[in-house]
Structure 1
């Protein structure tokens, strides 16, 4: 399991995620997995929680949709979610994806949902609720931080609480146009 948190703040959208891979509920198999990636000519950043093979399948599907729709992230995400929901094979995939570019921040789920967060924060994974609460608190009360610092600290806080999240945190960000 893992925690991925993305924050849109002061002209920047950032994402942070830990690297823990857990087998079952008791074995930490890896602590440095890369769950944040750039796709579509480095213009879109994604982070995923769930099974790695499932997440890679979703990454490939999203990349294909981005190619089909000339990089239009919203359209590609909606088309991906529709395909995910309709295809019986894809319905078995167990992963969630956060995707953003220089304009949009989206959560894409296997239930066919494409959500843009109300508070400019979205988090997924086992520590997602902890990270989201921490990030919202920082957004409301810590004006001296960047989006990247908020996202990273939110995952750090989640790692202090959630046994399925570690402190091996990777970040990435994109400046808004």
Structure 2
């Protein structure tokens, strides 16, 4: 999982080095795109769900259900999350309450997400590139385009 660290307000970059990827518990990482304060709230909520449901996928489903059902608070949040774990779970949690599992282990979110996903898929079969190198190259390509 890799993040660009860029926080923007409209077309202006207001922070180039935000920490968008976080460890939620041993073996579970999450990253976000969207409103930073909203994402921090979602990180906290997902951490609570992980303490209730140790299985990452189950915690994500419970988080998405809560996100959809809370009309007053969570439904107003504007953020998207990627959650991964050591067991191979890799899902995208959306603001509409979707839990989208990647078919090939590659997920991209945010304004450059589609570019990064396409680049990573093109690089996945290149000999000599590990996941970290693929992620960095894909982010570089996305940043050149978006």
Q: What's the TM-score once normalised by structure 1's chain length?
A: 0.79
3-state SS of the aligned residue for 1:153? helix
For 1:124, which of 96, 106, 109 is the aligned residue?
Answer: 109
Shift of 1:143: 2.6
Identify the structure with bigger relative contact order (alpha carbons < 8 Å, sequence gap 6+): 1
3-state SS of the aligned residue for 1:124? coil
Distance 2:45 2:133 in 1: 30
Unaligned runs of 5+ in 1: 1-14, 163-177
Does structure 2 conserve the Cα–Cα contact (< 8 Å) formed by 1:127 and 1:158?
yes
Matched, 1:60 2:44: yes
How many residues align structurally?
144
Q: What's the TM-score once normalised by structure 2's chain length?
A: 0.95
3-state SS of the aligned residue for 1:46? strand
Unaligned runs of 5+ in 2: none
Point out the structure with the larger strand share: 1
Matched, 1:107 2:67: no
Give the aligned CA root-mean-square deviation in angstroms: 0.9
3-state SS of the aligned residue for 1:144? coil
Point out the structure with the larger helix share: 2
Other-structure match for 2:69: 86
Shift of 1:117: 0.7
